[in-house]
Amino acid sequence: MPDPLASDSNSSQLSCTLNSARDCVHVLSSMVEVMSQRAGLNDKETNRVVLAVDELFANIGQHGYHGKEGPVEMKAKYDGDSLWFEFRDYALPLMDTDTLRGQAVDTSQIRPGGLGLHLIYAIMDEVRHQALDDGNRWSLTKHLKG
């Protein structure tokens, strides 16, 4: 499978390392908005992608780093067909999120913070999580309409 974040001349990409502190979400949101607009998403689609990425970032800080500050590396790229976001953290590996895909949400059991991953899966076309020896890697993909 080709690496979606490999560079070529027909793409645009951004990368940064942020602290998982909540006040860094504004920087992240701005970068996601720029990439979404470069990829040609309309305002509604852009806002939805920003929401999904912000939710993932919040989950990394809250559940991965347990509210403590830690590094989060983010790469973003679009190539004309898809918009990709990759996140790398150094927190304890999270649960196997692939088991969440396609599960019905029991709204009677939802507590604050309980819908984040379901929201991310609903907005993005592909969501992948890889537990690493020293953290987690997340990939979010939004396919662009022709």
Q: Amino acid identity of 9?
A: S
* Domain range summary for the chain, segments of one domain joined by +: 12-143
Confidence of residue 21 (pLDDT cuts 50, 70, 90): confident
Q: Amino acid identity of 112?
A: P
Confidence of residue 10 (pLDDT cuts 50, 70, 90): low
CA distances from 74 to 44, 88, 139, 140 (A): 23, 7, 10, 11
Q: How many angstroms from the chain centroid is the CA of residue 111?
A: 22
- In the chain the beta strands, taken as DSSP E runs, fall at 12-19, 71-78, 82-89, 126-132, 135-143
- 12-143: which CATH number, 3.20.10.10, 3.30.565.10, 3.10.20.30, 3.40.50.170? 3.30.565.10
* 127 φ, ψ (degrees, to nearest 5): -135, 125
Q: In whole angstroms, what is the distance from residue 121 CA to residue 125 CA?
A: 7
The residue that leads in pLDDT, 94 or 3, is 94
* pLDDT at position 4: 45
Q: In the predicted model, what is the mean pLDDT of residues 94-101?
A: 52
The residue that leads in pLDDT, 5 or 11, is 11
pLDDT tens-digit series, residues 48-90: 999 999 999 999 999 899 999 999 999 999 998 999 999 999 9
CA distances from 118 to 57, 90, 143 (A): 14, 23, 18
pTM of the model: 0.81
User: Is residue 17 pLDDT above 90, yes or no?
Assistant: yes
